[in-house]
Amino acid sequence: MPKLSQFVTIITEGDTTDGREVTAQMIEEAAETYNPDTYTARINIEHIRSFLPSSEFKRYGDVKAVRVGEKMIFGQKKKTLEAQMLCDDPMVEMATKDRQKIFFSAEMWPNFAKTGKFYLSGLAMTDEPASLGTEVLKFASTAKVNPFSSRKSDPSTLIVAANESETLEFKDVTEEKTPETPNFVQDLLTGMAGFFKAAEKAPEPKPEVKPATTETFDPQKFAQELTTGMAKTFGDLMNKQAEAVNNLQTSVNKVTKDFNDMKEKLDKQPAGSQRAPASGAETTHEKTDC
């Protein structure tokens, strides 16, 4: 089961591997935008990502939350980005038992999702402390080909100088249990089963040590609870039936009213007049006796 770490520093104001300066604003934006539900920054080794779960370069955990902190660096107050991590067992063993990969180097995306703000996209474990990392930074910032380019998930990604972190401390992650919904029917059946079981003739008891406290069955209390529960159930049923009858009566009344209104309207219309018989056109032709 993953273990939850305390907040540790992963970024301090300073240079990155490509010479771009990490500013206080970038740190504040990373703390403001980070949301593991939007995009989770996963933990890797040396910024190398394998597709195989059995590889040494698999993922070792996730960044759960980040916040802005401060540190005194050579007498100057610097902004820091602190992270709380969900660490898998291999990472915990590496950090506590083997004392390997105990420094952190963060990865940040500029203009994440076209917001114009920086976002923490990944976190690498490394063995390079700040003193050795300075030489690597100096070379990377002046080299024609950045030696970290092949390890970036995106060409615009910033890989920040490794920070020596505090000693990691872990605690178990506890799952929140959802409270169970009361079930009246189940409780009623359980109570009835207990009632009939208690009514059965019990065998001769064997001598045994009695517990400090015993809970006895109260028939009167059970009968009262049973009566109350059944009365409520039947009452709800009768209310629903009454509501259905009222709805039906309302529908019948509406249909009857519509029918009466239509009949009254038809009765008020005048009776139609009889059409005069056709007279035909006059002719001047003489009749012929055939």
Decide if 285 is catalytic. no
What the block records as the tokens of 107 is 């990865």
Active-site option among 5, 88, 105, 121: 105
User: Do strands 103-109 and 42-45 pair parallel, antiparallel, or not at all (unpaired)?
Assistant: unpaired
Q: How many CB atoms lie within 10 A of CB 108?
A: 24
Active-site option among 5, 47, 88, 121: 47
Decide if 18 is catalytic. yes
Active-site option among 15, 18, 141, 149: 18
Contact indicator for 133, 164 with CB cutoff of 8 Å:
no
- List Cα–Cα distances, 81 to 119, 193, 257, 279, in angstroms: 12, 61, 75, 108
106 DSSP assignment = E
For residue 105, list its beta bridge partners: 124
Environment class of residue 241 by beta-carbon count within 10 Å: exposed (0-12), middle (13-18) or buried (19+)? exposed
User: Do strands 170-172 and 42-45 pair parallel, antiparallel, or not at all (unpaired)?
Assistant: unpaired
Instruction: Taking each helix axis as running N to C, give the angle between helix 219-267 and helix 184-199, from 0 to 180 degrees, rounded to the nearest 10.
Output: 140
Alpha-carbon distance of 4 to 102, in angstroms, equals 16
Decide if 289 is catalytic. no
Sign of CA dihedral 119, 122, 127, 128: negative
Would you please indicate which residues are annotated as catalytic (active-site) residues? Answer: 18, 47, 105
